[in-house]
Structures are given as C-alpha cells and as structure tokens.
Amino acid sequence: MKRGITIMVRTAKITYLYNSGFIVELKDCALIFDYYIDKKNCLPSILAKYQKIYFFVSHSHFDHWNPDIGEFSAKVTKYFISYDIHDRKTLPIDKTVVLNEYDNYTDNQIKVISYSSTDAGISFFVETNGWKIFHAGDFNWWHWKADTAQNNAFARNGFAKQMKKLIGLQTDITFFPIDTRLEDCCDWGVKEFCRNTDVKNLIAMHNAGRSPWPLPNNFAGNNRPINIWSPAQPGQNTTITETD
C-alpha cells in the first residue's frame, strides 16, 4: 500500500492601500508595508482579526511614512523602521526595530533582512509562515528622461551596484516600483530585478493615481512564468496560493 502524499497549501491575501502601501494577510499574522494612507479604511478589520501584526516603513518620504501608525501600537507586535526616520516619538521603543542597510532581525516568528535603496532608506526581505517576501521601498532604476546624462548614469550605476547583492534572491512575492512617470523607462528596474532573481509573484507599486503599468509579454526574458498584479484602486485585493 502506497503511503499518501500530503500537499500543503498556503495562501496570502494582498490588499492595496495606496502608492507603495500594502497589507499582506498570512495564516497567523498580517504585514503592513509603507502605510501612508488608508483611503478605503481597510486596516481596522485587520487589527481586529490578527494577534500578530507587523509594520514596515522603508524610508522617511511622506508617501511611505505616516507617524500616525503609532496610534495602532496596542495591536502591533513590531514596527520595522528604516534608519533615516529620525522622528519616531509616536512609536513605542519596546516594539520598534530600527534597521540600517544590510541589517537583520530574527525571532521565532519572523526574519527580516534589510537591503539598500537607490533613493532614501532601505528595502525589506521578510520570511514568515513559509513565505519569502521582498518589498523594494524606493529601490529602483530611476531613469528620468528630463534629467542630466550625469545624473542618469549615477542612477544606473547605483542600481547595478545594489543588484549585485540581490542576484539569485528567491521570493514568493515581490513588491517593486513601476512608476509610469518614467514613461517607457518605467519597467527598466523591474525587468533587471526579475531577470536576476527568482520571483514567483510580482506586485507593481509606486504608481498612485496614475494609469496601471502596461504589462509587456515575456518582460523578464527566457519565457519565465511570473504572475503579475498591478492594482489601480485602493482597497483592491488578490489572493496568492502556493503549494509545498
């Protein structure tokens, strides 16, 4: 008699808040990335539902960091905050972990590794509940057509330097900027990222109030299958299912 094979199924529900802000609901916890504004009032139900709640703030720009997240501290397990956010008086010291570039934090529930950015602050790689999640913050290849050749060369070199540290990274879910203000250069960064890492599910971000990214065919090259979600309206959500 053949022994049966047990297939483990895990799900992640992703809700778009705004800009680079997302809620990730896993089996026994919720992760909130770059909360800036909650236009559809999604957060109260999350705070009531989960016993373990983690906030992540990638940098100090106003559209990623809102000091009002301190108001939720009674329900929050940990705040993971970038080193460039100096005014943290709204956050409880005992629940706040400040991360510099290439720092890490581990406990029996969650592992967090910080990487650098090509703008302010850091990006996050998070492991919990069997999931590997990367949130880029403002890490991107920021090529602005109206900028000088010197500045764009600096941006290209900075992106390439950081990508060397990320080559081969494996993620179940990656949040990455695809800002259409960069016009036809908007996907340069995400293409290079996905060509040099192993991404299963890609979620576009940092395009608040603008038309969604037009999804090109085979954008990562070599016919690599990557599921892509490009949310347009706050409150939209999707569910990702993986089997082990």
Pairwise pLDDT comparison (78 vs 224), residue with the higher score: 78
Q: What is the pLDDT of residues 59-68, one digit of tens each?
A: 999 999 999 9
2.40.50.180, 3.60.15.10, 3.80.30.20, 3.30.540.10: CATH of 11-236: 3.60.15.10
pLDDT beyond 70 at 57: yes
Percentage with pLDDT > 70 across the chain: 95
pTM, two decimals, is 0.94
What are phi and psi for residue 130, nearest 5 degrees?
Answer: 80, 0
Tokens 């009531």 belong to: 48
Closest to 140 measured CA to CA, from 105, 113, 111, 176: 176
Alpha-helical runs (H) found in 164-204 = 188-196
- Cβ atoms of 166 and 135 closer than 8 Å: no
Higher pLDDT, 5 or 141: 141
pLDDT at 109: 95
Cα separation of the two ends of the chain:
23
Alpha-carbon distance 189 to 194, whole Å? Answer: 9
Distance of CA 216 to the CA centre of its chain: 21
The model's pLDDT over 198-243, given as tens digits with 9 standing for 90+, comes to 999 999 999 887 777 776 767 776 667 888 999 989 999 999 998 8
Residue type, 26: L
Residue 3 has what pLDDT?
Answer: 62
- Mean pLDDT of the 135-141 span: 96
Averaged confidence pLDDT in the chain = 92
Give the pLDDT confidence of 162-171 residue by residue, as tens digits. 999 999 999 9
Distance (Å) of CA 155 to CA 94, 145, 147, 148, 159: 37, 12, 10, 11, 6
How many angstroms from the chain centroid is the CA of residue 213? 17
Only one residue has tokens 């996050």, namely 124
Predicted pLDDT of residue 1: 43
Residue 89 pLDDT greater than 60, yes or no? yes
CB neighbours of 51 closer than 8 A, spacing ≥ 6?
Answer: 28, 29
pLDDT score, position 208: 80
- Burial letters 213-222, b for 16+ CB under 10 A, else e: beeeeebbee
> In the predicted model, is pLDDT for residue 177 greater than 90?
yes
| Domain map (residue ranges) of the chain | 11-236
* Contact of 102 with 112, CB cutoff 8 Å: no
